Amino acid sequence: MPWVYTDDIVTDRRTRGIAPGTIAVLQDAERADIGLAAVNLSSRIGARLLDRNAEVEVDADWILQKLRVALAHRDRLYDAPFYRLIHAEADGLPGVVIDRFGDVAVLQPNAAWADLRAEAFADGLIALGICHVLLNASGRARSAEGLSAESRWLRGGVDAPVPVTMNGAIYLADLTGGQKTGLFYDQRPNHGFVGGLCRGARVLDVFSHVGGFALAALAGGASAATAVDGSASALALAEAGAARMGCADRFTTRQGDAFDTLTALAAEGARFDVVIADPPAFAPAKPALTAGLRAYERVARLAAALVEPGGYLTLCSCSHAAEVGKFHAACARGIGRAGRSGQLIRTGFAGPDHPVHPQLSESGYLKALTFRLMP
């Protein structure tokens, strides 16, 4: 386990005063060295393991080597520099997320140790050939670490959305004003699979953000796609992406609450060949699990009612607390309560630029279930 919770750490008067973000040697109950850890005793996660070798120095060279190892993996995966470069603990950099958009990198240092070393991360990214580095301070985890919510450019800067081509679709990522880092790379394989189901189909993409599944569906030959989201700015970016693809005449948007929109579409008698719902994390932690599963069930019920007989329904969850079995059960209940029955034809996860740490289930948070609803 790469974390030690603060409640499990034994401190004395001297170590109790360690400043957040300090690198220290972590020892077990027998005082044997476990390795180097980043310490923040004011956080729920008191120590994050950085290196098993307690003799190394966590400096700029150490950070650059971690970045190079991660880059070598992404270079094998993708022929264009658009991906998640660092996926926190799974890439050996606890609490750090870096998404790459060509010559721009968006850095989220969501742990105190990394925030203190943001300049070293920026230097390392520049050494990899990246020209612009944005420190994105919007991560929810930063408040738990006692960190600032102020985003800023560490190197360079861009003032327009960045176009990103994936699965034949063109997305526009707003790096400074959008959600998270501007785009959700984790859904790439799931976008591609669903897009392959959409030839000639009428498609509804709920919680669409900047067009996620909808634009992939258009790239796959959908006859029409409708994107639903609460954010007018996100839908405007989706429309701009569809226009760049030459698909504006097949693309429509509806701004509003997703649950209200699903209910309204059912009342209008609307039906679609493919429906996708990719909501935010309804169960971001275990205390929210019961309520979160009820919300996922409700989404499944409302969405299933809009699928044509023989059509397809994809339901997603980015809640690590809702493991795949519980999420599947909630979706199945919702489909059944809509009076429908379905075949599960695929269980999808995040792409390989989002590796999973084998001892940290939180790093494998994304699930995407695709059902065929029977005639």
Q: What are the structure tokens assigned to 21, written together?
A: 């973000």
Q: Which amino acid is at 130?
A: I
Q: What are the structure tokens assigned to 86, written together?
A: 């660092």
β-sheet with 272-277: strand ranges across = 251-255, 224-229, 202-206, 272-277, 307-317, 367-373, 342-348
Pick the closest to residue 213 from 235, 187, 239, 185 (CA basis): 187
Q: What are the structure tokens assigned to 113, written together?
A: 């140790």
In angstroms, the CA 136 to CA 125 distance is 15
Tell me the sheet residues that pair with 316. 368
Q: What are the structure tokens assigned to 1, written together?
A: 């386990």
The radius of gyration of the chain's CA atoms, rounded to the nearest angstrom, is: 22
In three-state secondary structure terms, 112 is: helix
Respond yes or no: is residue 318 known to be catalytic. Answer: yes
∠ Cα 52 106 191 (to 5°) = 95
Q: Which residue among the candidates 198, 247, 316, 318 is catalytic per the annotation?
A: 318
Q: Which amino acid is at 259?
A: F
Q: Which residues are catalytic?
A: 318
